[in-house]
Amino acid sequence: MRRSQHRPFLPESIAVCRQLILASVIGLIGLMMLAPCHAQFKQRDVSGVVTDARGNALPRVAVQLENTRDLSVRSYITGKDGRYHFDGLNDDIDFTLRAKYRNWWSKPKTLSKFNATVHPELNLVIPID
């Protein structure tokens, strides 16, 4: 029968392992530094006026703002002047706006993330006379 021979663990092997671990950690840190950082998005707002087909401002219109990324919806009821306003919008997200007056809807309008206007004005028209 053969006896198994044990090789002693040499101190040089420990040093080599430490150097490999250190090189791996440094490499990972370097890769993380090359990874793109998350961009910081600016906030913006959007406002406008809801009118009928003749251009008259419509009061008490429900304006809906839909976030196209997570499909959340915010609403605003216009005053007597037909104006609406939404603020605190992420400039890296597209939004869809539409208005409802009684049983009538406006055509939807998109506020694109590529629209660089700081305070865009999107007017909505309800197709009634």
pLDDT tens per residue across span 77-125: 999 999 999 999 999 999 999 999 999 999 999 999 999 888 999 999 9
CATH code that applies to domain 43-125: 2.60.40.1120
Looking at residues 25-52, what average pLDDT do you find? 79
pLDDT for the residue 95: 97
CA distance 31 to 24: 11
Residues 6+ apart with CB under 8 A from 113: 91, 92, 93, 94
pLDDT band at 66 (very low <50, low <70, confident <90, very high): very high
Structure tokens at 65: 């703002």
**What would the two tokens of residue 78 be?**
């216009």
Q: Going along 21-106, which residue ranges are E strands?
A: 43-51, 62-67, 73-77, 83-90, 95-101, 104-105
Q: What residues does each domain of the chain span?
A: 43-125
Note the pTM of the prediction, 2 decimals: 0.68
